[in-house]
Structure 1
Amino acid sequence: MNKIKLKKNGFSMVEVLIALLLLGTVGLGFLAVLANSSSHTLNADVRATAESIARSQMEYVKAQPYDGSNPPVYLVDTTKFDATIWQITITGERLDPRGDGTGNDDGLQKITITVEYYRGGSWDDVVVLEGYKYTG
C-alpha cells in the first residue's frame, strides 16, 4: 500500500494574524513619527514667517517719524501680513541713557514687537523682537 504524504504548504491562520499584527504595529509607529515630523515642520514654518514679519515691522517703525510722546506710539504696517492669522503689537519705551529723566527725550527708544499666531481658537506668542530707535 502506498501512503500519500501530505505536504504542509502555506501558513496557518495564526501565523498570518501575527504577521499582520506586526506589520500594523510597525505601520502605526511610522505614521506617528510622520505626524510628529509634520507638526514640527509646521511650527518651524510659522516661526520663520513670524520672524520675517517682526523684522519688516521693525524696519517700518524705524522709517516712521520719531515720536517724542511718552510712551511713543508707532503704527503697524498691515499690508505685510494676513490679519486673520497674525496679530502684531508694537510698544515703545523712552530710554534715559543720560540719567536726566525721561521727561526730556534723549532721542533713544526701545521698540518691542510681538507677533502672535492664531492657532486652535487662541492667539499664541510666536516671536518677540526688541530693537532701538534713535534720533540724533
Structure 2
Amino acid sequence: MANIKRKTGLLSGREAGLTLLEMVVALGILSAISLAFIGGLSSNTKSVYIADERATAESMARSQMEWVKYSPYSFNATSYSLAPILDATDYEYYSANITAAPLHDPDDGLQKITVTISREDAVIYTLEGYKTDR
C-alpha cells in the first residue's frame, strides 16, 4: 500500500477563502469605523473654523474699543466712529457697531461703550468697556 501524503500549507481545504457572510460583516465593521473617523474630522474642522471666527472678531472688537478710548470724549454721545481697518482682507465679512450710553443723567463724563462684531448679520462677539472724560 502506498503512503499518500496530503499537501499541507497555509491554506488547505475549506480554509482557502472567506464566505460571503464574513465579507459583509468585515465591510460593515470597516464602514462603521470609517464613518466615526470622518465624523470626528468634520467636527474638528468646524471647531477650528468657529475658534478662528471668534478670535478674529475679538481682535477687531479690541482694536475698535482702543480706538474709542483714545478718541476725544463726546458728551451725550450714542455712538462713536469706527476705527479704520488697515488690512481689510482679514475682516472682509465682519462689521462693527459701537454704541455709547452715559452712566448718569446728565452725562457726568462716564460712558459705557459696547462694541458688537457681526458676520453675515449674526453677532459673533460683544465687548463692553467704559470711557471717561479726561
Does the pair score TM above 0.5?
yes
1:84 deviates by 4.1
Find the counterpart in structure 1 of residue 65 from structure 2.
Answer: 58
Deviations 1:40-96 (CA, angstroms, capped at 9, x unpaired): 11111111111111101000111111111x334311124154564101110000122
**Which secondary structure does the structure 2 equivalent of 1:89 belong to?**
strand
Separation in 2 of the partners of 1:73 and 1:52?
A: 20
Question: What TM-score do the two structures reach when normalised by structure 2?
Answer: 0.82
Residue 94 in structure 1 maps to residue 102 in structure 2: yes
Question: Which shifted more, 80-89 or 126-135?
Answer: 80-89
Gapped regions of structure 1 (runs ≥ 5)? none
**Which secondary structure does the structure 2 equivalent of 1:79 belong to?**
coil
Residue 76 in structure 1 maps to residue 82 in structure 2: yes
Find the counterpart in structure 2 of residue 114 from structure 1.
Answer: 116
Deviations 1:15-54 (CA, angstroms, capped at 9, x unpaired): 1121011101110111111101111111111111111111
**Which secondary structure does the structure 2 equivalent of 1:88 belong to?**
strand
Count residues with an aligned counterpart.
Answer: 125
Contact 1:114–1:127 (Cα < 8 Å) also in 2: yes
Cα-Cα RMSD: 2.2
Question: Which shifted more, 76-85 or 44-53?
Answer: 76-85
Contact 1:86–1:116 (Cα < 8 Å) also in 2: yes
Residue 43 in structure 1 maps to residue 50 in structure 2: yes
Question: What TM-score do the two structures reach when normalised by structure 1?
Answer: 0.81
Query: Where has structure 1 moved over 6 Å in runs of 4 or more?
Result: none
Separation in 2 of the partners of 1:64 and 1:74?
A: 9
**Which secondary structure does the structure 1 equivalent of 2:13 belong to?**
coil
Which of 20, 30, 39 in structure 2 is aligned with 1:32?
39
Contact 1:67–1:73 (Cα < 8 Å) also in 2: no
Separation in 1 of the partners of 2:74 and 2:25?
A: 73
Deviations 1:89-129 (CA, angstroms, capped at 9, x unpaired): 10000122xxxx32xx31111100001122xxxx2111110
Q: For the pair shown, which has the larger CA radius of gyration, 1 or 2? A: 2
